[in-house]
Amino acid sequence: MKKIYCHPKSLRNVSTHYCPGCGHGIAQKLVAEVVDELGIREKVIAIAPVGCAVVAYDYWDFDCSEAAHGRALAVATAIKRVRPQNIVFTYQGDGDLAAIGANETIHAANRGENLSVIFINNAVYGMTGGQMAPTTLLNQKTATTPKGRDAKFHGYPLKISEMLAVSPGVKYIERTSLHSPQEIIKTKKAIKQAFLNQIEGVGFSLVEVLSPCPTYWGMPPKSALEWIRDVMAKEFPLGRIK
């Protein structure tokens, strides 16, 4: 019997602005599928800050709120405390969550806010021109590190998930990837777990997703997926962290 594909109700049937090979489209579809499967479409509120996913509200067909750059978890905290019956989550890139929003991230996690965080790590600033991000790998070339990231001048890639895991307020952290169908399935399971944790009142949950950015990595989409598998995942090991 032929399987019939069902478009997620929580995902609008429109074209996106993402570059060819970008992982955001996949990740956002996974979120929509999880929302539909859990039956929380009328209760969920997404927070999208500045970054490549700044217009996520054009693609998700449920309530979304915008936040200033780096302030997604501050906004999410406020909404969740005022409306604890809602399922509130943030969808943030590495520049937003781990750079300008690092303070909000650390303190929301430390307080154990009952929130779900989808953290897209593509190791570069995508929306603003491909500059070095906190998660940029050593020797990786970007618009602001044309000779590659140098630990002496730029420091080391920030492993924000491992940093947050030491906090008692954090209950669940998992790092996944989008570089293969098998890993995409694992990513969906992790996202669902993060939402279930909030529904059950467990506490702060974060899923870090290694995602390709062929445009600013300067490579074809297929090579970008292989780079995640062969290079990026060695710096950011996949699996359950907490």
Give the DSSP letter string of 6-50.
Answer: ---TTB-SS---PPTT-SHHHHHHHHHHHHHHHT-TTTEEEEE-S
Which H or E run contains 160?
A: helix 160-165
11-47 burial, b if ≥16 CB within 10 A, otherwise e?
Answer: beeeeeebbebbbbbbbbbbbbbbbbeeebbebbbbb
Q: Which residues pair with 48 in a beta bridge?
A: 66
Q: What is the mean pLDDT of residues 126-132?
A: 87
Q: What is the mean pLDDT of residues 107-135?
A: 94
Going by CATH, does the domain composed of 24-240 fall within 3.40.50.970?
yes
Q: Which residues pair with 45 in a beta bridge?
A: 63, 88
pLDDT given at position 5: 63
Three-state secondary structure call for residue 204? strand
Give 158's pLDDT tier (boundaries 50, 70, 90): very high
Q: Over 90: is that where the pLDDT of 211 sits?
A: yes
Q: What is the mean pLDDT of residues 123-139?
A: 92
Q: What is the mean pLDDT of residues 117-144?
A: 94
Average pLDDT, the chain: 95
pLDDT given at position 114: 98
Q: Over 90: is that where the pLDDT of 232 sits?
A: yes
The CA distance from 188 to 80, in Å, is 23
The residue ranges of every structural domain in the chain are: 24-240
Q: What is the mean pLDDT of residues 36-63?
A: 94
Q: Which residue has the higher pLDDT, 7 or 200?
A: 200
Q: Over 70: is that where the pLDDT of 1 sits?
A: no
Express each pLDDT in 196-207 by its tens digit: 999 999 999 999
pLDDT given at position 63: 95
pTM of the model: 0.95
pLDDT given at position 138: 97
Give 126's pLDDT tier (boundaries 50, 70, 90): confident
